[in-house]
Amino acid sequence: MTDTAPRATFTRMDQSTKEDWDIIVGAVINHAHTQVYGNVMQQMETLRGDHGGFAVDRLTHCLQTAYLAEQDGKDDEYIVCALLHDIGDVLAPFNHPDIAAGILKPYVSEANHWMVQNHGTVQGYYYFHHLGMDRNKRDELKSHDYYEHCEEFCAKFDMPAFDPEMTAPPLSHYAPLLEAMFGPGGLASVDDVKGAVQK
């Protein structure tokens, strides 16, 4: 099927016009509202069956992390962060927190974004020493306003979520939360998007 939607006409960005950008912004927001939720769900599915040497597969770990947060009474935004915190495991195994942090940044608070972005280092306290690394590397972050927020996430939800005996809901249980964040209700207007991009 040929894409007949309007397109910008510039060939160099320095020659672009407001009319061009009206077309592009409309297309980007439409894409965000109609495609991102599905793309995120699809990417989460790639974690299914991938154990990476752990006792549970990566999707189960994410679901258990989200479920522990949910049971603790965390709000929907936090639960989505917990669910997606390792979505980058199969794309960027050596810096996976950056992937989740990048996806979530426009949609979540500064505190939750920092938590996701830094969970790898903070969680390292529980295992870096087994790899000949410094388990206290996270101490370099301790003076940050959101350190305790992240430390709690690791201690209560991320760290204990490797348990084959734990029952957690399926991914579909969290679909409405993901749809609310990434669908049309999330960043609904052009102004919402502008604010999110510039934060």
User: Can you tell me the distance from the alpha carbon of 190 to that of 128, in angstroms, rounded to the nearest whole number?
Assistant: 43
CA separation for the pair 126, 121 (Å, rounded): 10
What does the alpha-carbon distance between residue 156 and residue 74 come to, in Å, rounded to a whole number?
12
Q: Which of residues 1-40 bind Fe ion (CB under 5 A)?
A: none
Cβ within 8 Å of residue 80, ≥6 positions away: 66, 104, 107, 108, 174, 177, 178, 181
**Run of H or E including 41:** helix 18-45
The tokens for 82 are 């917990």
Q: Which of 158, 174, 186, 187 binds Fe ion (CB under 5 A)?
A: 158
Q: Which of residues 95-114 bind Fe ion (CB under 5 A)?
A: none
Cβ-based nearer residue to Fe ion, 70 or 158: 158
Give the number of residues in contact with Fe ion, rule: CB under 5 A.
2
Closer residue to Fe ion (CB): 32 or 141? 141
Region near Fe ion per CB under 5 A, out of 79-87, 107-115, 138-146, 168-176: 79-87
Minimum CB distance to Fe ion smaller for 124 or for 186: 124
Closer residue to Fe ion, CB minimum distance, 81 or 187: 81
- Binding to Fe ion by residue 125, rule CB under 5 A? no
**Taking CB under 5 A as the rule, does residue 86 contact Fe ion?**
yes
Can residue 68 be called a binding residue for Fe ion (CB under 5 A)? no
Q: Which is nearer to Fe ion, 70 or 86 (CB)?
A: 86
Q: Which window, 76-84, 131-139, 146-154, 155-163, contacts Fe ion (CB under 5 A)?
A: 155-163
Tell me if 60 contacts Fe ion by CB under 5 A: no
The distance of closest approach from Cβ of residue 157 to Fe ion in the complex, given in angstroms and rounded to an integer, is 9
Q: Applying CB under 5 A, which part among 26-34, 35-43, 134-142, 156-164 lies near Fe ion?
A: 156-164
Interatomic CA distance for residues 148 and 141, integer angstroms: 10
User: CB under 8 Å to 32, separation ≥6 — which residues?
Assistant: 182, 187, 193
Which residues lie closer than 8 Å to 138 by C-beta, 6 or more apart?
A: 121, 122, 124, 125, 147, 151
Residues that bind Fe ion (CB under 5 A): 86, 158
